[in-house]
């Protein structure tokens, strides 16, 4: 589901003229690297935003019950216009988060966060990417994204990614509702690993791999059990933020 983007005609006119572009600084080195590559493959009418702030309102029974307000910052958000048939401007929003939990508790916390953002309509799709995958296998990560969300990427971008992607990644077929995909590599083929990292894989009996996680708002059965329920629609372009006292 896509949400309306009010009062954005001037910004969008500029985007249509210039196309998506790389605009540092970004929140970190990994996000910077992702943005640098991502803009090469997006549609010409796409807009790339960074450090997008979102406020999720408190649930109806709070503070006696339920959950209080929550504040999030998304690393990167790609916005593309969609045709609603009504003539009103609407956007599809795809978020890219360049972080993943090291423990099961971290993963559960991030899963609840991402599901809550989807439930409140802040974005339509969320990718959660590991920094090591972005630095070592950027082309494969973006190729997989272009297979899941082909409408966000340009025709030339999809052709280039298919050319640059590894044979292992090209063998993967993703389903729209699929929440994750793992691409394994043989140690001999994985030239991105240092000798020390190669030795670690051998010692632990674990092949190098890319892990891409993705949640899609259309498939609530996948993420719904983890989400705090929505109170109202959230617009991420005009967010009332409160300063800490």
- Residue spans of alpha helices (H) in the chain: 9-18, 29-38, 104-119, 131-136, 138-148, 155-164, 167-170, 195-204, 220-223
> pLDDT tens digits for 205-216?
567 899 999 999
pLDDT band at 22 (very low <50, low <70, confident <90, very high): very high
Q: What is the mean pLDDT of residues 13-42?
A: 86
| Domain-wise residue ranges, the chain | 3-225
**Angstrom distance (rounded) from CA 212 to CA 184:** 12
Which residues, 6 or more positions from 79, have their beta carbon under 8 angstroms from its beta carbon?
5, 46, 47, 49, 91, 92, 93
Which residues, 6 or more positions from 245, have their beta carbon under 8 angstroms from its beta carbon?
none
Of 100, 121, 47, whose CA–CA distance to 209 is shortest? 100
**Angstrom distance (rounded) from CA 152 to CA 170:** 19
Of 5, 227, 217, whose CA–CA distance to 110 is shortest? 227
What pLDDT was estimated at residue 102?
Answer: 67
**Angstrom distance (rounded) from CA 105 to CA 219:** 24
Of 140, 143, 141, whose CA–CA distance to 98 is shortest? 141
> pLDDT tens digits for 47-79?
999 999 999 887 777 777 667 788 999 999 999
Burial class (CB in 10 A: 0-12, 13-18, 19+), 209: middle
**Angstrom distance (rounded) from CA 19 to CA 183:** 31
């Amino acid at each position: 589901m896509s949400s309306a983007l009010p009062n954005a005609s001037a910004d969008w006119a500029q985007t249509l003229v210039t196309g998506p572009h790389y605009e540092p600084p970004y929140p970190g080195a990994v996000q910077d690297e992702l943005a640098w590559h991502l803009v090469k493959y997006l549609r010409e009418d796409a807009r790339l935003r960074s450090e997008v702030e979102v406020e999720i309102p408190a649930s109806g029974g709070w503070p006696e019950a339920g959950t209080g307000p929550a504040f999030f910052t998304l690393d990167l958000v790609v916005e593309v216009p969609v045709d609603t048939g009504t003539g009103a401007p609407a956007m599809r929003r795809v978020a890219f988060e360049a972080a993943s939990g090291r423990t099961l508790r971290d993963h559960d916390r991030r899963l609840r966060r991402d599901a809550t953002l989807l439930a409140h309509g802040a974005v339509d799709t969320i990718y959660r990417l590991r920094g090591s995958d972005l630095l070592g296998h950027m082309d494969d990560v973006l190729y997989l994204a272009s297979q899941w969300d082909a409408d966000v990427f340009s025709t030339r971008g999809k052709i280039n990614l298919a050319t640059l992607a590894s044979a292992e990644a090209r063998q993967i077929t993703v389903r729209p509702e699929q929440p994750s995909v793992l691409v394994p590599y043989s140690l001999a083929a994985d030239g991105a690993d240092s000798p020390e990292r190669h030795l670690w894989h051998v010692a632990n009996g674990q092949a190098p791999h890319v892990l891409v996680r993705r949640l899609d708002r259309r498939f609530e059965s996948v993420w719904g059990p983890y989400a705090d329920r929505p109170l109202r629609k959230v617009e991420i372009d005009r967010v009332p933020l409160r300063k800490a006292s």
